[in-house]
Amino acid sequence: MEIQTTEERRKVRKVVILGVGMTDFGRFPERPVPKIGAQAVLEAIKDAGIEWKKGPVAYCAHAMGRTSDGQLVEAELGHTGIPIINVSNACAGGGTAALMAYQAIATGLYDLALAMGVDQAPHGPVGGLNPPTIEACLGIDSMIGKYAMKIQRAIHEHRYTLDQMAMVSVKNHNNACLNPRSQYKIHLTAAEDVHQSRMIADPMTLYHCCPTGDGAAAAIFCTEKMAKRYITGPQIEFIGSQLTSQLFIRGELADTRDVSVRAAKNTYEMSGIGPEDLDMIELHDNFTVSELEHIVDLGICAEDEVGGLMEGGVFSITGRIPVNMSGGLLGKGHPTAATGIAQLCELVWQLRGQAGKRQVSNPKTGLAHCCGGDEGQASYVHIVKK
Amino acid sequence: MGIETKEGTPNKQPVPIGEDLFALPSSPADKPYLIGSRCKSCGETFFQNRVCCRRCTSEDMERVSLNQTGKLYSFTTIRVKPPHFLGDVPYLMGVVELPEGERIRALLTECDQGSLEIGMDMELVIESVGKTTKPVGKIDVGTEVLGWKFRPRRKEEK
């Protein structure tokens, strides 16, 4: 695939994130999906200072709802007649909606775009599609089983220790305690606290796994020209976004990390920003092992360094390169398609200096990353800068 | 007792959970095997039949019987029941690598977690996995179904 270089990008329009909003993440069974979604959009349009009736094009991501959730959110806010596109791309759905909003503006198709994600999840492990698949009936179509076996392999191959993986959970849960919108505010002090939680699939305990939950997030994108009318201070530019799917790999539990490696490489090339230029990262920590893998996939450090650096605090809020300041999927929660947009909310708040107790010291750039689907079937990387 | 309900007719024979997944032994001396497909163009072998080769997209595929033995690639004991699973928790699940290169997700049987080690020899068995609680393909609710599992390879048979 050909990637636009920085030089070629000058021909497309600059894209600015004008405003962001998100709901608390948690369990809201009494709240219908359109109301959860509308709450996030209302906050984003107020933050952007625009009127809803101005009518941006809207990309609404959801992984579990009805196929027209975007229109149902719009109906909740008041009809505008705008084009609304529903986006489904598993855990990468929110980020994919952001990519589409970026493309709509960069290419000159629209001047203003809304990207949002909203989901409401049933309790318990993910899955349960109807009609049931053969693998689901056999109990082998299990996300927790797959990641427990990945952890087994990581230990067997001496890539990471169980303690190092547990320290991801300690860090992200503690960051989540500093985020008022987090689903969980559980203070963990050591790897042992993670080992002591309930066994889910050996050797993986509960705190190695992100929760399912409910929530929404929204972001308003616009042209540089339009942003100047609304923002007097520095603009937050969305400078790169690439989505990938996997190449051929053999067999179950195959190494699918290449999807993230290529998404990162392509986005670095497109944005002219490299891993060494990044000030902070929000990435896909669906399970603890994933965060260690993805830090390496994004080119931050080598495979044999990452576990030690995690234990050394390099990825904490005050560390050299903070990762998942928001609490990540593990602590903040993971209402599937809302996650990708919630990552952008965090990066924008951090760049504006509005992140409260979890504020990173004067960040100028940030990266967001998610993987979607059972085998890393989709991966995206976004880069924003002030 | 003695009353036949719609679900769970007592004299029904267990049926394979899907078509073209595995072949049952035709005699007691025979062994079951998984049904795979091999690409005649690039040689890649897959479990189950395919529209085309996942590696090179060739449609020139042949049906093959897969090796009954392989090596344990990873394993876990699942303690939280996944949606639609016909059995009970906890249960053992693993991934087995066949000599063909294909790796297969499967239930593990006739073993406990403490006796398992990555790299050990495993062999295929076809066993009941329980009764269906929802229709699966053409199979009605309440039918006892057979699925593929692996067990540690028995020493005397090596």
* Residues A103, A115: Cα–Cα separation, whole Å: 11
Residue A239 sits in a domain of what CATH number?
3.40.47.10
**Percent of chain A whose predicted confidence (pLDDT) is above 70:** 96
At B129-149, the pLDDT tens digits run: 999 998 888 899 999 999 999
Mutation for testing the A interface, residue in B95, B128, B139 having most A CBs under 10 Å: B95
In this predicted structure, the answer to whether residue A67 has a pLDDT above a threshold of 70 is yes
Which pLDDT does position B29 carry in this prediction? Answer: 87
User: Is A361 within a domain?
Assistant: yes
Closest residue by Cα to residue B135 from B149, B148, B145: B145
**B111 min Cα distance to partner chain A (Å):** 15
Q: Is B71 exposed, middle or buried (0-12, 13-18, 19+ CB in 10 A)?
A: middle
Give the residue from chain B lying closest to A203, CA to CA. B76
Which pLDDT does position B3 carry in this prediction? Answer: 44
A204 part of contact set with chain B, CB < 8 Å: yes
Identify the band that residue B1 occupies on the pLDDT scale cut at 50, 70 and 90: very low
- Spell out where chain B has E strands: 15-16, 22-23, 33-39, 45-47, 61-65, 69-78, 91-97, 103-108, 121-131, 144-152
Query: Between A78 and B12, where is the model more confident?
Result: A78
Which pLDDT does position A200 carry in this prediction? Answer: 97
* Residue B64, φ and ψ in degrees, nearest 5: -135, 155
At A173-191, the pLDDT tens digits run: 999 999 999 999 999 999 9
Mutation for testing the A interface, residue in B74, B98, B127, B145 having most A CBs under 10 Å: B74
* Residues A69, B121: Cα–Cα separation, whole Å: 49
At A92-134, the pLDDT tens digits run: 999 999 999 999 999 999 999 999 999 998 877 777 677 889 9
Q: Which residues of A touch B54 (CB under 8 A)?
A: 248
Q: Which residues of B touch A144 (CB under 8 A)?
A: 78, 80, 82
Interchain pair A136, B85: CB under 8 A:
yes
* Residues A29, A32: Cα–Cα separation, whole Å: 7
ipTM above 0.90 for this complex: yes
* Residues A45, A149: Cα–Cα separation, whole Å: 43
What SS3 state is found at A115?
Answer: strand
Identify the band that residue A231 occupies on the pLDDT scale cut at 50, 70 and 90: confident
Q: Which residues of B touch A254 (CB under 8 A)?
A: 103
In this predicted structure, the answer to whether residue B6 has a pLDDT above a threshold of 80 is no
Token pair, residue B69, equals 């033995």
Q: Which residues of B touch A141 (CB under 8 A)?
A: 82, 105
Largest CA distance in chain A: 59
How many domains is chain A built from?
A: 1
Give the residue carrying structure tokens 């053969």: A134
Which pLDDT does position A128 carry in this prediction? Answer: 67
Helix/strand/coil (H, E, C) string of chain A?
A: CCCCCHHHHCCCCCEEEEEEEECCCECCCCCCHHHHHHHHHHHHHHHHCCCHHHCCEEEEECCCCCCCHHHHHHHHHCCCCCCEEEECCHHHHHHHHHHHHHHHHHCCCCCEEEEEEEECCCCCCCCCCCCCCHHHHHCCCCHHHHHHHHHHHHHHCCCCCHHHHHHHHHHHHHHHHCCCCCCCCCCCCCHHHHHCCCEEECCEEHHHECCCCEEEEEEEEEEHHHHHHHCCCCCCEEEEEEEECCCCCCCCCCCCCHHHHHHHHHHHHHHCCCHHHCCCEECCCCEHHHHHHHHHHCCCCCHHHHHHHHHCCCCCCCCCCCECCCCHHHHCCCCHHHHHHHHHHHHHHHHHCCCHHHCCCCCCEEEEEEEECCCCCEEEEEEEEC
In this predicted structure, the answer to whether residue A1 has a pLDDT above a threshold of 60 is no
Q: A55: number of CA atoms within 13 Å, CB side?
A: 5
Mean per-residue pLDDT of chain A: 93
What SS3 state is found at B136?
Answer: strand
Average pLDDT over residues A213-236: 94
Identify the band that residue B155 occupies on the pLDDT scale cut at 50, 70 and 90: confident
Which residues on adjacent β-strands are paired with residue A370? Answer: A380
Token pair, residue A356, equals 């409260």
Give the residue from chain A lying closest to B99, CA to CA. A251
Q: Which residues of B touch A253 (CB under 8 A)?
A: 73-74, 95, 103
Give this prediction's pTM: 0.94
* Residue A43, φ and ψ in degrees, nearest 5: -65, -40
Which pLDDT does position A10 carry in this prediction? Answer: 56
* E strand or H helix at A347: helix A339-352
Which pLDDT does position A147 carry in this prediction? Answer: 96
Average pLDDT over residues A39-60: 91
Q: Mark whether A222 is an active-site residue.
A: no
C-alpha dist (Å) from residue A80 to A48, A53, A54, A70, B52:
18, 6, 8, 13, 46
Interchain pair A149, B93: CB under 8 A:
yes
Which pLDDT does position B10 carry in this prediction? Answer: 52
Interchain pair B83, A125: CB under 8 A:
yes
Q: Give yes or no for a contact between A61 and A216, defined as CB atoms under 8 angstroms apart.
A: no
Identify the band that residue B2 occupies on the pLDDT scale cut at 50, 70 and 90: very low
Average pLDDT over residues B98-102: 96
In this predicted structure, the answer to whether residue B60 has a pLDDT above a threshold of 50 is yes
* Residues A47, A43: Cα–Cα separation, whole Å: 6
Average pLDDT over residues A209-214: 95
Interchain pair B21, A142: CB under 8 A:
no
Which pLDDT does position A356 carry in this prediction? Answer: 97
**B135 min Cα distance to partner chain A (Å):** 7
C-alpha dist (Å) from residue B93 to A150, B99, B153:
13, 20, 16
In this predicted structure, the answer to whether residue B4 has a pLDDT above a threshold of 50 is no
Average pLDDT over residues B58-85: 96
Token pair, residue A166, equals 């547990």
Question: For residue A380, what are the domain limits?
Answer: 6-123+211-385
In this predicted structure, the answer to whether residue A215 has a pLDDT above a threshold of 60 is yes
Interchain pair B103, A252: CB under 8 A:
yes
Per-position b or e across B36-62, b if 16+ CB within 10 A of its CB? bbbbeeeebbbbbeeeebebeeeeebe
At A302-352, the pLDDT tens digits run: 999 999 999 999 999 999 999 999 999 999 999 999 999 999 999 999 999
* Residues A77, A89: Cα–Cα separation, whole Å: 24
* Residues A360, A20: Cα–Cα separation, whole Å: 18
Per-position b or e across A29-56, b if 16+ CB within 10 A of its CB? eeeebbbbbbbbbbbbbebbebebeebb
Average pLDDT over residues A378-384: 96
Contacts of B103 (CB under 8 A, 6+ apart): A250, A251, A252, A253, A254, B73, B95, B96, B97
Interchain pair A251, B93: CB under 8 A:
no
* E strand or H helix at A381: strand A378-385
Q: Mark whether A334 is an active-site residue.
A: yes
Identify the band that residue A7 occupies on the pLDDT scale cut at 50, 70 and 90: low
User: Is A178 within a domain?
Assistant: no
Upstream peptide bond of A131 is cis (omega within 30 degrees of 0): yes
* Residues A350, A178: Cα–Cα separation, whole Å: 13
Which pLDDT does position B5 carry in this prediction? Answer: 46
